[in-house]
Structure 1
Amino acid sequence: MQLIDTHQHLILSEALRYSWTDGVPAMAGRAFTPEDYGALTKGRGVVGTLFMESGVDDAQYRDEARLVAGLVGTGGMLGQIASCRPEVEAGFEDWLQECDGLKVRGFRRILHVVPDELSQSAVFRRNLRLIGARGLPFDLCVLARQHGLTEDLLRACPDQVMVLDHCGNPDIAAGAFEPWAAGLRRLAAFPNLYVKLSGITANCAGAVTADLLRPYVAHVIDCFGPERVLWGGDWPVVNIRSSLPEWIALTEALLAGLTPAERLRIGRGTAEQVYGL
């Protein structure tokens, strides 16, 4: 497959602080660099990447985007998805304007680590519409229990293209397929929403196999169709239960039954459309 990795994290611990990694044994106390990523993906079909904001400590999210801007254009990096704070009115438009010069292709605010009410405010929704007015997508990182809140947000911002990260985070370890599947079906009814085939191995317990993941991936494709599915590696978070080379191999196995055109669409075509690559 040809893959554009739309979810390439980096842990640049010499310059930035990532407190959340302290409780993740697979990541704690380590840096994860572009050179590490390049070694893992060499010869595996990754033809380009988008850096995904990596959850730096709150005071440094702008510093992260400024630092990463200098990496775009190297190692196949095509741009970045920067962090933002739509819940804060003061300075939000200034940040969007600065990001015009930082090779930003989209924005994200992780919503499963903040109160549910945050995304429901008028300020948050108004600021999302400002992102949409610039022709840029917004990545949604939510848990399956937050699908209803996501519906509300999509309904309030019909002109904002959004990308649902990690297949909407099914709780695979708990076998909670049905509630996730029903929520995903409802979300797929919104034409401005795309879904990212990424991050689901971290939600597993024990061995991660194609047979375990197949019903989840099949449901994602059935709900959205290949034209609204794009791929992400989620490295190095993927190391929690798997590895990036293993996830690439699993992706190839899980999509083997699709046509070459459908695999190309999921691997890179949808990403090129959504992020303007």
Structure 2
Amino acid sequence: MRILDTHLHLIYRDRISYPWVKGAGGLDNDFTLESYLAEARGLDIESALHMEVDVAESDIEAETAFVTGIDPFVVGAISSARPENKDFPAQLERLMEIGNVKGIRRVLHVVPDEVSQTRLFVENLTHLKRHDLSFDLCLLARQLPLGMALADAHPDTQFILDHCGVPDVEAQALDPWRAYITDMARRPNVAAKISGVIAYAGKDWSVETLRPFVEHVIEAFGWDRVVWGSDHPVCTTTASLTDWVTATRQLIAGASEDEQAKLLHRNAERIYRINP
């Protein structure tokens, strides 16, 4: 079963500035497409979307231009952007000129909660629909109501909830995360990404410690509104890419072939508007 990875991070420190990696241990390194492909090609990962890596604001467009031209394996990019800024509409225009931008993301757990709730931020997201762009929600579990408010304000815009809503898997903290996910899934313009959970599960993770979180997200959103992402190289803080793909296949082993195809590539092609 082929896989479209909707959450690949590439780090080229000689080209782009990544301020956050300075204190990120093993992630303060280069993670190239070549190194990823060396493992991914043996796992039936046939294409990927590049997910922005919270680069320095001055490098946002440089990152997007670089990754969209790096190799046909990368079928599009979710670019960083700054909806809290007045020049956001102009920034979107510049990103669209680069081409092959499928959506944008603003990491919201690195800024005060109020940032995403300002009138300017909310109004700026109206420009996404005009460009047929989606918005990836990257929030901590406690911040999920902030994401619901954004989705409610823009019912005609596609939102994708990254990393299963960032639950504390290691502590098996199902609540109140579980109720938030159920509530989020009531919004038809939100899909969920099965990604990231292995990085939150600690070094002693197992398929069974991941299972209640992955299964709840799939149950809440249904097989038509879930996509899969590696979150590479962040996943390597607790596991290898091979470990995460293997765990995913074990977690969905009881699903039908059609359901597995929806999660692993078909939904992503529809939601991110990718021609297979």
Per the normalisation by structure 2, the TM-score is 0.96
Match of 1:100 among 86, 96, 99: 96
**Structure 1 residue 209 displacement after superposition:** 1.1
* Counterpart position of 1:196: 193
* Counterpart position of 1:21: 21
Q: C-alpha separation between the residues in 2 aligned to 1:99 and 1:56? A: 15
Q: C-alpha separation between the residues in 2 aligned to 1:239 and 1:165? A: 17
Matched, 1:60 2:56: no
Match of 1:78 among 75, 79, 100: 75
Asked if the contact 1:196/1:232 (under 8 Å) is kept, the reply is: yes
Match of 1:132 among 129, 134, 138: 129
Matched, 1:182 2:143: no
Q: C-alpha separation between the residues in 2 aligned to 1:227 and 1:205? A: 29
Counterpart code for 2:149: D
Asked if the contact 1:10/1:33 (under 8 Å) is kept, the reply is: yes
**Structure 1 residue 14 displacement after superposition:** 0.8
Counterpart code for 2:204: A
Matched, 1:150 2:137: no
Q: How many residues are treated as equivalent by the alignment? A: 273
Q: C-alpha separation between the residues in 1 aligned to 2:129 and 2:38? A: 36
Deviations along 1:41-95, one digit per CA (max 9) or x if unpaired, are 122111210000011122222221122232152xx110111000001112x2222
SS state at 1:26 partner: helix
Alignment of 1:239-250 (within 5 A): 239-250=236-247
Asked if the contact 2:77/2:101 (under 8 Å) is kept, the reply is: yes
Counterpart code for 1:95: Q
Counterpart code for 1:248: V
Deviates more, 1:263-272 or 1:38-47: 38-47
Counterpart code for 2:251: L
Q: Which runs of 5+ in 2 are unaligned?
A: none
Per the normalisation by structure 1, the TM-score is 0.96
Q: C-alpha separation between the residues in 2 aligned to 1:104 and 1:83? A: 10
